[in-house]
């Protein structure tokens, strides 16, 4: 479960979250771009050869499957970067085979390169632009050096177009990321907050209803956190919360996101996690927190787990059942996991797997969680 804290492509968890979240936002634009390129190739295939459609099919297969590959990977940013480079290579190959410096496909390398600006920070985008320029030079100067020198205008214009459009997309995307960061980040822990949770879960709901995918929800609450503040002061309490967030992030994959709801309560969203997997992750996190000693204190956590699939993936009932399971964990002595509660969308019934004891239908809230 451990994931490196950073890579060159994504230095922080927020940058990884950006890579994941942007997928849904650009999917429509990506489809429109692919469709326009495909129609153009179909129109000019008799002139340049039907092989161009084969290259387009490879490129379309790559771009339309990248989101699925990202969801299954602990390092989704690598799949995005590989997808961009692969698309650049295919387009550069099309340029080389359709006239080199005289190819009408020269400007098309701007399409995958500009998409890099929607997902990555400036340094990565500069690298993507550099690779595109190198590929353009290879597809023109290397193929027909004399023709390129005699008529350099198409190459120069294509490079200028590539740089300028990518710069504009990067500036707009950067402004949106900055604005979203101010509204969706918890300033104390650096985790995503309740606003971000609502946006992300809405996307997961739609996806699960279409595909039947399973989503698990974990609600985590630090035991007797009020006593920490009362005994050691709020500064020490803040240190516990920051260390708690750090320990949790260390034991989660990049697509398993953690949110701070407020106070000492946190929510984990586990796309694709079945009931048994969700329970295993919760037990592992609980054990890790005991070992990690947030704030150099012997702190424990109680966790409630709920799981749903397909049409049952709806935030309110899923959160309600995970919260009930959390209250059960508190009532049974804290420092434990209860659940997963499994939500049956067709029967609208709930069942819980927590050993011999069954989940009570209603539980009074303890005086202290």
Query: Any idea which residue has 């990202």 for tokens?
Result: 70
Q: Per the domain annotation, does 359 fall within a domain?
A: no
> Distance from first CA to last CA of the chain, Å, rounded?
28
161 and 259 both lie in a single domain: no
Q: Per the domain annotation, does 3 fall within a domain?
A: no
Look at the chain and report how many structural domains it folds into: 2
Q: Per the domain annotation, does 1 fall within a domain?
A: no
Q: Per the domain annotation, does 7 fall within a domain?
A: no
333 and 292 both lie in a single domain: yes
240 and 332 both lie in a single domain: yes
- pLDDT tens digits along 267-283: 999 999 999 999 999 99
Tell me the mean pLDDT in the region 197-224. 91
Q: Distance between CA 338 and CA 205 in Å, rounded?
A: 24
212 and 177 both lie in a single domain: no
pLDDT at residue 192 above 90? no
Q: What confidence score (pLDDT) does residue 361 get?
A: 34
Q: What confidence score (pLDDT) does residue 310 get?
A: 93
Q: Distance between CA 304 and CA 142 in Å, rounded?
A: 61
- Of 184, 219, 245, which residue is a domain's last? 184
Under 8 Å between Cβ of 92 and 136: yes
Residue range of the domain that includes 330? 194-352
Structure tokens at 142: 């290397």
Structure tokens at 363: 């539980």
Q: What confidence score (pLDDT) does residue 177 get?
A: 62
65 and 154 both lie in a single domain: yes
Residues near 232 by beta carbon (within 8 Å), at least 6 away in sequence: 295, 297
Tell me the mean pLDDT in the region 158-165. 95
Structure tokens at 202: 């809405």
Task: Give the range among 37-51, 96-110, 292-306 with minimum mean pLDDT.
Answer: 37-51
Tell me the mean pLDDT in the region 161-188. 78
**Helical H segments across the chain, by residue range:** 13-48, 51-71, 76-97, 110-119, 122-140, 145-150, 153-184, 194-211, 225-232, 234-250, 275-292, 315-331
171 and 221 both lie in a single domain: no
pLDDT at residue 4 above 50? no
26 and 172 both lie in a single domain: yes
Q: What confidence score (pLDDT) does residue 302 get?
A: 96
Q: What confidence score (pLDDT) does residue 193 get?
A: 86
Q: Per the domain annotation, does 6 fall within a domain?
A: no
Task: Give the range among 85-94, 246-255, 296-305, 315-324 with minimum mean pLDDT.
Answer: 246-255
Structure tokens at 295: 């704030």
Q: Which residue has the higher pLDDT, 66 or 309?
A: 309
Q: Give the relative orientation of helices 76-97 and 51-71 as an angle to the nearest 10 degrees.
A: 170
pLDDT at residue 217 above 90? yes
Residue 343 bridge partners (DSSP): 308, 350
The domain that holds 311 is classified in CATH as 3.30.70.270
pLDDT band for position 318 (50/70/90)? very high
265 and 171 both lie in a single domain: no
57 and 177 both lie in a single domain: yes
- Of 184, 212, 247, which residue is a domain's last? 184
pLDDT band for position 38 (50/70/90)? confident
- Of 131, 165, 184, which residue is a domain's last? 184
Instruction: Give how far Cα 368 sits from Cα of 27, 222, 365, Å.
Output: 45, 11, 8
Q: What confidence score (pLDDT) does residue 183 get?
A: 62
Q: Per the domain annotation, does 92 fall within a domain?
A: yes
pLDDT at residue 22 above 70? no
301-309 and 337-344 as β-strands: parallel, antiparallel, unpaired? parallel
Q: What confidence score (pLDDT) does residue 324 get?
A: 94
Q: What confidence score (pLDDT) does residue 6 get?
A: 64
23 and 121 both lie in a single domain: yes
162 and 95 both lie in a single domain: yes
Residues near 42 by beta carbon (within 8 Å), at least 6 away in sequence: 53
pLDDT at residue 365 above 70? no
Q: Per the domain annotation, does 327 fall within a domain?
A: yes
Structure tokens at 297: 């204190």
200 and 277 both lie in a single domain: yes
- Rounded to 5 degrees, φ, ψ at 257 are -95, 150
Q: Per the domain annotation, does 142 fall within a domain?
A: yes
pLDDT at residue 360 above 50? no
């Amino acid at each position: 479960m451990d994931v490196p804290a950073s890579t060159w492509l994504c230095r922080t968890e927020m940058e990884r979250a950006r890579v994941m979240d942007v997928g849904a936002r650009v999917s429509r634009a990506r489809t429109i771009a692919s469709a326009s390129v495909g129609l153009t190739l179909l129109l000019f295939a008799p002139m340049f050869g039907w092989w161009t459609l084969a290259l387009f099919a490879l490129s379309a297969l790559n771009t339309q499957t990248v989101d699925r590959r990202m969801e299954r990977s602990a390092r989704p940013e690598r799949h995005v970067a590989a997808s961009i480079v692969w698309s650049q290579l295919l387009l550069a190959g099309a340029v080389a085979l359709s006239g080199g410096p005289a190819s009408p496909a020269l400007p098309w390398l701007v399409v995958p390169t500009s998409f890099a600006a929607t997902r990555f920070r400036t340094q990565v985008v500069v690298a993507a632009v550099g690779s595109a320029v190198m590929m353009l030079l290879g597809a023109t100067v290397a193929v027909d050096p004399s023709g390129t020198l005699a008529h350099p205008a198409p190459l120069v214009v294509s490079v200028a177009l590539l740089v300028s459009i990518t710069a504009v997309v990067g500036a707009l995307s950067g402004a949106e990321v900055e604005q979203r960061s101010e509204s969706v980040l918890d300033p104390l822990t650096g985790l995503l907050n309740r606003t971000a949770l609502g946006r992300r879960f809405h996307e997961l709901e739609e996806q699960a209803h279409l595909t039947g995918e399973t989503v698990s929800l974990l609600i985590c609450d630090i035991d007797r956190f009020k006593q920490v503040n009362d005994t050691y002061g709020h500064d020490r309490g803040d240190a516990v919360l920051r260390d708690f967030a750090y320990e949790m992030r260390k034991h989660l994959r990049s697509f398993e996101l953690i949110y701070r709801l407020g106070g000492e309560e946190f929510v984990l969203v586990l796309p694709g996690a079945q009931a048994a997997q969700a329970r295993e992750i919760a037990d592992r996190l609980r054990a890790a927190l005991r070992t990690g000693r947030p704030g150099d204190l012997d702190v424990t956590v109680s966790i409630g787990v709920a799981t749903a699939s397909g049409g049952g993936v709806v935030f309110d009932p899923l959160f309600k059942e995970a919260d009930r399971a959390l209250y059960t964990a508190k009532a049974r002595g804290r420092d434990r996991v209860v659940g997963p509660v499994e939500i049956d969308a067709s029967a609208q019934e709930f069942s819980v797997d927590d050993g011999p004891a069954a989940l009570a239908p209603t539980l009074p809230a303890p005086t202290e969680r």
